[in-house]
Structure 1
C-alpha cells in the first residue's frame, strides 16, 4: 500500500486539495492507497481532513475511485461497515487498521 502524506508540508487547504487531486488522477498499480491528512489541531476534524473527504465523496460519484474508508471508521460506526467488510482484505495488514486513526483515509481504486 502506497502512503501519500498531504499534510506534512503544512499546506493551505487549497494546496492540499491540488495535491490530492493529482494523486487521484495518477494511475495506481495498487488497489488501495493511504492518505495522511491529519485530524486538525482541535481534534474534531481539520480543514484538510474535511476537504479530503469531500473530494473523495465526489470521486466516488464520478467513478474516479471505488470507495474510501476514513481511518476512524474502522473502530466507530459511521456507515462504512459494508465498505470495510468488502475491502478488509486490502487494509487488514496496515498498522492503522483497527486503531481508529482519524488522521488517515484509505482510498480504494
Structure 2
C-alpha cells in the first residue's frame, strides 16, 4: 500500500474549489480503502497557495476534532521524531517511504483515515 497523494493546487484553483476537491478526494480515498492521504496545498510563496494552505489545514483540523479523521500531520512535522508521525508509522509503516518524510515541507499535510 502507498500514500494516496492529492494535488489541491493543480490548476491554480480558488479556495472553495480546493476545498471541494479535498472533500471529493477524502470520499474517494475512503471508498477505495486508502489509509493515508497526502494533500499538496502549497505553502504560499505566490500568495494563492497560502490561502489554500490555511483553509485546507483548518478544514482537516475540524474534521479531526469531529472524529472524522484519525490523525492530521502537517508536512513540517512529518518526521521520524514526531509523535503523531510515529503513531501513523505504527499503523501504516509504508509512510516511511514517502518522499516528504523528514523534509519539513510546509506545502503538504498528511491525514490518516479511520
TM-score under structure 2 length normalisation: 0.81
Partner of 1:14: 16
Which of the residues 70, 73, 83 maps onto 2:77? 73
Structure 1 position 25, deviation (Å): 2.7
SS at match of 1:9: coil
Q: How many residues align?
A: 104
Structure 1 position 90, deviation (Å): 4.1
Q: Kindly indicate whether the alpha-carbon contact (under 8 Å) linking 2:37 and 2:112 is maintained by their aligned counterparts in 1.
A: yes
Question: Which structure has more helix as a fraction of its residues?
Answer: 2
Gaps of 5+ in 2: none
Partner of 2:103: 99
Whole-Å separation in 2 of the counterparts to 1:65 and 1:90:
18
Pair 1:85 & 2:86 matched: yes
Gaps of 5+ in 1: none
Partner of 1:31: 35
Q: Kindly indicate whether the alpha-carbon contact (under 8 Å) linking 1:72 and 1:101 is maintained by their aligned counterparts in 2.
A: yes
Partner of 2:59: 55
Q: Kindly indicate whether the alpha-carbon contact (under 8 Å) linking 1:32 and 1:108 is maintained by their aligned counterparts in 2.
A: yes
SS at match of 1:66: strand
Whole-Å separation in 2 of the counterparts to 1:95 and 1:106:
12
- Runs of 4+ residues deviating >3 angstroms: none
RMSD (Å), alpha carbons: 2.0
